[in-house]
Amino acid sequence: MRHALMQFAPAFPEIFVLIMISLILVVDAAVDDGKRFLAYFLSLVTLAGASFLTLRDFSTLPVLTLGGLFIDDPLSDVLKLFLYLSVAIVLVYSRDYLRQRGLYKGEFFVLALFALLGMMVMVSASHFLTLYLGLELLSLSLYAMVALQRDSSVATEAAMKYFVLGALASGMLLYGMSMVYGVTGSLGLGDIAIALQDGTDLRIPLVFGIVFIVAGLAFKLGAVPFHMWIPDVYHGAPTAMTLFIGSAPKIAAFAFVIRILGQGLESQVSDWRGMLVILAVLSMALGNIAAIAQSNLKRMLAYSAISHMGFMLLGILAGSQNGYGSAMFYVLVYALMSLGGFGMILLLSRAGFEADRLEDFKGLNRRSPWLAFMMLLLMFSMAGVPPTVGFYAKLSVLQAVVEIGYVWLAVAAVLFSLIGAFYYLRIVKLMYFDAPHDAAPIKASPDARVVMSVNGLAILALGIMPQPLMAVCIHAIRASF
């Protein structure tokens, strides 16, 4: 009995989250509309409890359990802690928005926690089956979240596009996994890595399998040319759902990529590096250029997300521990910036009004100098302007690319980053130099204002002192590989 419990010990955070989801479902079904805050409160308790369990059993060395399906290592623990933080920030930002639109229901919180559970499984997966299980749990939850506003035809259309393209990408990923299984005879990432170290006679099936896997991964990241869903889903979904999709799942997608390419297929770096180079260049190019033409802030941030995933791929394609650490640092920083960007739209929105157009930010400095300053920090960071943390994040992935001799790629990334600076700085110009269209007071709740302030100031503080977070990322990668 004790041995069986020890087998499940590394997965206690996941088990706790699942139990709390079941509790929230029961509680929400038993209370009336006036007590919906219980689901919100219990969701925050769930995140706090999962954080406690993860910190209590923080792993210093990789621990493989559940028959090789699940791994608990420093990489998974660090990423899980950032997932909890991201989801908690989403819930705080979203509360008023959901209440004003009749979406403040247990379904949102349950779906958010199911998505979190899927991300936790992805982060700790050491087997193709576990990776796919976590991915599908996350994906199905996100499809439902996008369609949660049932009377909105735009949200329903976005959910259908997301579902159809997501199913296609999942099929490609499964097909690639099956081909790798046919070559290596195993679905465990560690066994696959060992089987491929000495080479294989089945070279062509292996390369085809890697191509299909990279294509499936590119969809989940939103990299060009598998980006078609991102602008429509970000724009069509209610902003609270867009906030969720644009933050925490990016961290899980990074874990998914690093587990498959960095651990399982590490010896085949020469095969997948070229594909990632193409994906990175196309993503940075199209993302930054297309964003310039957008008048809707959610669509602009969607194309911005595409370009940022291109930058993150630069660290991964380096194929080194420093590169992986830089990519991890970048994706954590991007999640923080994305939370702030979409969170600001939620703070400025009110019943019957979505503050998602660029013109809605005109004269924000006159309405709220502090929120305008927070948005300035977020936009400067996304553009890579020092002393914000976005500058250091881009610098770290560029250094990783230069280390492997791809100087031309670093130069191209810098040029695309300069193009991208235009549309970020345009928002700063609107906030500080244009007259406001809407002089209505900003009625954001005190807790959302506090979290936004911490969010914006963290961007500045991490830019001035990035070393602690970078050290955590590098240590997590080195201790887990």
Interhelix angle 12-30/106-123, rounded to 10 degrees, is 170
Contact 194, 126 (CB under 8 A): no
Query: How far apart are the C-alpha atoms of 322 and 327, rounded to whole Å?
Result: 9
Residues 407-427: what's their mean pLDDT? 90
Do 122 and 135 contact (CB within 8 A), yes or no?
A: yes
The partner residues of 107 in beta bridges, in order of sequence, read none
| Whether pLDDT at 66 is above 60 | yes
Asked if residue 351 has pLDDT above 80, the reply is no
Q: What is the pLDDT of residue 354?
A: 76
Question: In the predicted model, what is the mean pLDDT of residues 7-30?
Answer: 86
Q: What is the dihedral of CA 296, 302, 305, 306, to 10 degrees?
A: -120
pLDDT for residue 88 is more than 60 = yes
Using a 10 angstrom Cβ sphere, with 0-12 exposed, 13-18 middle and 19 or more buried, the burial of residue 316 is: buried
- Residue ranges in 31-127 assigned as alpha helix (H): 37-56, 74-100, 106-123
pTM, two decimal places: 0.92
Band the pLDDT of 360: cuts 50, 70, 90.
confident
Phi, psi angle pair for 219, to nearest 5°: -65, -45
Length of the chain equals: 481
Beta carbons within 8 Å of 468's beta carbon, 6+ residues apart: none
* Whether pLDDT at 262 is above 90: no
pLDDT at position 439 over 80: no
Q: How does residue 1 score in pLDDT terms, banded at 50, 70 and 90? A: low
78: confidence class by pLDDT, cuts 50, 70, 90 = very high
109 Cβ contact list (under 8 Å, min separation 6): 24, 28, 39, 40, 42, 43, 91
Angle between helices 297-317 and 229-236 (to 10 degrees): 140
Sole residue written with tokens 């997608």: 253
Averaged pLDDT, 366-387: 89
Write out the two tokens for 265: 């297929």
Which two structure tokens, joined as six digits, stand for 181? Answer: 């299984």
Rg (Cα) of the chain, in Å, rounded? 21
- Please state the separation of Cα 78 from the chain's center in Å: 14
pLDDT score, position 303: 92
| pLDDT interval class at 205 (50, 70, 90) | confident
